[in-house]
Amino acid sequence: MEARIYECESKDQGKLKTLLSKDPYADISFSKQGYKLKEWKVVGGEADKYYLYIKAEPDFFKWAEEKFKELPSIKRTAKELEQKIIANIEAEDNAAEVGMGAIFG
């Protein structure tokens, strides 16, 4: 699996959420695949942007990028920033897992 980050302007965040929630029971959907939508402040991105984290197989990304054409402001994040944001999100996930392990030990 590969992780990718896409970005959109804050003003289009509502449209992006609508796109992500479409057809949740379809054979291929964002809901089934799973994703994380984070504000720029949380992940250290550029001001006034939202960042979409998706970890999936290459075929899913082909499908997703077709869907993203419905929202012109969404694009894949530049490689260097993408790697930084992926590291931040995965570190956050790992910390959450460690915390749950400590609780349920």
Domain interval for residue 70: 2-104
**SS in 3 state form for 61-75?**
HHHHHHHHCCCCCCE
| 67 alpha carbon, distance to own chain's centre | 14
What's the domain count of the chain?
1
The model's pLDDT over 24-72, given as tens digits with 9 standing for 90+, comes to: 999 999 999 999 999 999 898 999 999 999 999 999 999 999 999 999 9
Which one-letter DSSP state was computed for residue 98?
A: H
pTM above 0.95, yes or no: no
User: Which residues are registered as beta bridge partners of 39?
Assistant: 50
d(CA 66, CA 20): 13
Write the CATH number for 96: 3.30.70
